[in-house]
Every structure is written in structure tokens, then in C-alpha cells.
Amino acid sequence: MYNNTVKRRIVLEERLQKFLARAGIASRRASERLILEGRVKVNGRTVKELGIKIDPSKDEVWVDGKVCRIKSNYVYIVLNKPKGYVTTVKDPFGRLTVMDLLKGFKHRVYPVGRLDKDTEGLLILTNDGEVAYRLTHPKHEVDKTYLAHVEGHVTESELKKLNKGIMLKDGMTAPSKSRILKFSQKGTLLEIKIHEGRKRQVRRMCLAIGHPVVHLKRIAIGKITLAGLKPGQWRFMTEPEVEYIKSL
């Protein structure tokens, strides 16, 4: 009897940040920050340490004075982000955000990862924090595919540098899967696949080999594509797409 009870408790317990992500509060990384900032309470006690485990069936969790419950109405959106929009829910400088493209949408969702203001293309938005974590954490190695128009003609030796990994200010990048699609009179069209998500990573990688990016577009995350969406348009994920990202 004792062993069965112990096994049941092990199954029910989960890390606090994972619970917050499943509840749609924020991604797992952002949930860790909430905990460290002292904004999370468990059974009335403020928690400021990572690694705490809770039993969602018994423990009561609050964030910023509001109780957290697991959501069953998860939403998954694919958006074709245009240039000029910042990837955030709110912007303190009053700039257009990707949320402005979802005006009238009733569910609260947030972007998975980021595209800088001048980069366009595929962005996933959801209220499923666990899926967001799986898509963005480098250990899951989910490829993000970009089309990069760069200045000048990229040589095979420069391409090999991209594929081996580039030393940036914040350290060596993981090897990419890059190839030359075509040359134009003044530039090169590259397809670049990476599974990391550093700030402006593709732009910095190309600059490091001497070919600044002129235009950058993300066309896929894993097997998820834009599927004909025009800039500014969005759609709900199909059931097979949702099953795919949950299986990662």
C-alpha cells in the first residue's frame, strides 16, 4: 500500500515552472524568471527557488495575486510576420507588435521565440507553455529555416564556416545546415537552418563571414510552414501540425 502511494505522488508531482508553462502563464524560461522575482506563491508561501515540485491536484499556485489553473483550451496559431512589427505582447515605446495583427482575437496567446523588427516570416503563437518550451529550447534541436539574401557572392569555404559553427561574441554557434540557392548580380540567396535562438543570430553569422543580410525571412519551424500565408495573415494550426509539435 505504501509503495503504491509513493508511486502515485511521483507521477503527480512536477516542477513549478513546468506547471506554470502548462497553465499558459508564460514559457518555461519566463516562468523561471517569475519565480526568481518572487511573484509566485504556493499554498500562500512565496517561492523564490527553482526546482521546487508541486502536486497540481493538491497545491494552490498564485502568480501576481491570481490563482493559476491548467487550461484545456489551448490555441496554436501560425502567423506570417511582416517587417516593422516587434515580437512582443506589449511595447513600452508604442511600436507595432505582432499582437496588433490579432486584433479581435479573444484568447490570450504569446509569441514562441522572436523575430527581430526587420525580419519577416513564420511565427508561432500559443498559450501552451510546455509546447513553447519544446520549440525554443536548443536541447530539442528543432530546426528553424530561413531564406537570407546577403551581399556579395558566398564561396564554398565561407559556406563551410557557417556549417561548422561561427564564433560570435556570445560564443560558438552550433553547426548550421546552410546551402546556396542562387546567385544574383550583387548577392546570394542562402537557405540557413539553425536550432538555436540567439538574438539576431542569422544576421550575425552572415556578417561574420563578410556577407551582411539584406533581407531575411523565416519559412519553417520544424515541419510547420507558412502554407501560403501572405505577410500579416495568420491561421490556426491543423490537427496534424498540433500533434507534431506536441510530439517533439
What is the CA 130 to chain-centroid distance, rounded?
11
pTM of the model: 0.73
Measured between its terminal Cα atoms, the distance across the chain in Å is 36
Question: Residue 190: which residues within 8 A CB-CB, separation 6 or more?
Answer: 147, 148, 149, 150, 154, 178, 179, 180, 181, 206
Give the relative orientation of helices 129-136 and 28-36 as an angle to the nearest 10 degrees: 110
135-172 residue pLDDT tens: 887 777 899 999 999 999 999 999 999 999 999 999 99
The active-site residue out of 59, 91, 116, 143 is: 116
Q: Can you tell me the distance from the alpha carbon of 35 to that of 25, in angstroms, rounded to the nearest whole number?
A: 12
Let me know: does 90 contact 69? Beta carbons within 8 Å: no
| Closest listed residue to residue 27, CA positions, set 99, 105, 127 | 127
pLDDT tens digits for range 162-221:
999 999 999 999 999 999 999 999 999 999 999 998 999 999 999 999 999 999 999 999
Q: Is 64 a catalytic residue?
A: no
Q: Which domains does the chain have, with CATH numbers?
A: 2-67 (3.10.290.10), 76-138+224-247 (3.30.70.580), 143-221 (3.30.70.1560)
